[in-house]
Amino acid sequence: MTAAVELAGVVAGGSYWAHYLIGMLPMTVLAAGVVAGSPERWTRRLVLVAVLVTVVTTPVAAVAAHREPEDARIGGWIAASARPGDTITVLYTHPNTAQSSGLEPAYPYAWSLPLRTLDPRLELLRSTLEGPRAPTWVVEWDSLQSWGLDRDHRLEAVLDFRYRHVADVCGRPVLLLRGVHRALAPLTPSACPSSKGP
C-alpha cells in the first residue's frame, strides 16, 4: 500500500523529473530486503539481476550527467555574443540558461510554475518585452503554447514585432532585440551537435 501511495505521488505531481523517484526508495529498499531473504530461487535471481543492471547503468548515467547540459551551452553562446548591460529572458523554463549567460534576467519569473500562477495571461511578460527595458536576448526554450499560455498568440505577435531570430543553439531559437546588433559567436557543431548558424 505504501508503495502505491509513493507511486501515486509521483504520477499525480503534474510534472516529472527523475529526482522525483527518490520518494520511491524506502519501499524499494524494503521490498529488495524482503525478496532477498526469501528462500525461493527466483527471488534471489531477481535481486542479482537488479544489482547487475545497477552496476552496468550507473557508469553510463554518470558519464551522461558529466557532459555539459544544453542550457549551459546555450547560455555560454549568448555570453560570448553579448555585451555588458545586455539582459535575457528564457521562455518559460530553464533558469540555468540565464545563469550560464551571466546576464541579468529582464523578467522576474524564470520557471514555469511561478509564471503560470503569477502571470497566467502573460501580461507582465508581454509588457516587459514591449517596454523600454525589454530583454536584449530571448530564448524560446518551450513552445509558446505550452500549458495553454499563449492561446491568443499575443506573445507570439510581440516577439515577431520586437525581435529577430539570430540562431538556433542546441535546437533552441535565440532571438535578439530589433535595432540591436551584436557580433555573434561562432556555433561549433562539436559543442552542440544540433546547432545551426544564423
**Per-residue H/E/C for 5-53:** HHHHHHHCCCCCCHHHHHHHHHHHHHHHHHHHCCCCHHHHHHHHHHHHH
More confident residue, 59 or 190: 59
Q: What is the pTM of this model?
A: 0.69
Q: What is the mean pLDDT of residues 56-77?
A: 77
- CB 88 within 8 Å of CB 106: yes
Torsion of CA 61, 62, 64, 69, to 10 degrees: 130
Per-residue pLDDT of 25-53, as tens digits, reads 777 777 777 766 777 777 777 777 877 88
Distance CA(73)–CA(192), nearest Å, equals: 7
Q: What is the pLDDT of residue 25?
A: 72
CA distance 80 to 44: 55
